Amino acid sequence: MLLSVRNLRTYFDEDGRVVKAVDGVSFDLERGETLGIVGESGSGKSVTNLTIMRLIPSPPGRIAGGEVIFDGRNLLALPDEEMRKLRGRRIAMVFQDPMTSLNPFMRISRQLTEVTRLHLGHGKAEAYEHAVHMLEMVGIPDARKRAEGYPHEFSGGMRQRVMIAMALSCKPELLIADEPTTALDVTIQAQILELIKNLKQETGTSEILITHDLGVVAGTTNRVVVMYAGKVFESAPTGELFSRPGNPYTKGLLQSVPDPTCDTKELFQIPGLPPDVANLGPGCPFAPRCFRAEAICKEQFPPFVALTPSHHSLCHFADEIYKGAS
Per CB under 8 A, 166 contacts other proteins: yes
Task: Provide, rounded to whole angstroms, the least separation between the CB of residue 99 and other proteins.
Answer: 9
Query: Shortest CA distance to 233 belongs to which of 15, 37, 56, 49?
Result: 37
Host H or E run for residue 118: helix 108-119
In this complex, which beta carbon is closest to other proteins, that of residue 102 or of residue 208?
Answer: 102
Per CB under 8 A, 55 contacts other proteins: yes
Per CB under 8 A, 256 contacts other proteins: yes
Q: Helix crossing, 108-119 with 156-168: angle to 10°? A: 10
Q: Which of residues 73, 84, 145, 298 is near other proteins by CB under 8 A?
A: 84
In this complex, which beta carbon is closest to other proteins, that of residue 108 or of residue 284?
Answer: 108
Per CB under 8 A, 59 contacts other proteins: yes
d(CA 267, CA 258): 6
Per CB under 8 A, 86 contacts other proteins: yes
Task: Provide, rounded to whole angstroms, the least separation between the CB of residue 324 and other proteins.
Answer: 22
According to CB under 8 A, which residues from 131 to 160 bind other proteins? Answer: 150, 152
Number of chain residues interacting with other proteins (CB under 8 A): 38
Please say whether the beta carbons of 109 and 127 come within 8 A.
no
How distant, in Å, are the alpha carbons of 3, 34, 74, 147 from that of 30?
7, 8, 16, 35
Beta-strand runs (E) in 190-244: 206-211, 223-228, 231-237
Which residues are within 8 A (CB) of 173 and not within 5 positions of it... i.e. 6 or more apart? 2, 31, 71, 90, 91, 205, 206
Per CB under 8 A, 104 contacts other proteins: yes
Per CB under 8 A, 114 contacts other proteins: yes
Please say whether the beta carbons of 278 and 20 come within 8 A.
yes
According to CB under 8 A, which residues from 191 to 230 bind other proteins? Answer: 212
Host H or E run for residue 112: helix 108-119
Which residues are within 8 A (CB) of 89 and not within 5 positions of it... i.e. 6 or more apart? 119, 170, 172
Q: What is the amino acid identity at position 8?
A: L
Per CB under 8 A, 278 contacts other proteins: no
Per CB under 8 A, 274 contacts other proteins: yes
Stretch that binds other proteins, among 62-70, 99-107, 128-136, 314-322 (CB under 8 A): 99-107
Stretch that binds other proteins, among 111-119, 133-141, 276-284, 315-323 (CB under 8 A): 111-119
In this complex, which beta carbon is closest to other proteins, that of residue 77 or of residue 273?
Answer: 273
- Positions in the binding site for other proteins (CB under 8 A): 40, 53, 55, 57, 59, 84-89, 92-93, 95, 97, 100-106, 114-115, 118-119, 150, 152, 163, 166, 212, 253, 256, 269-271, 273-274
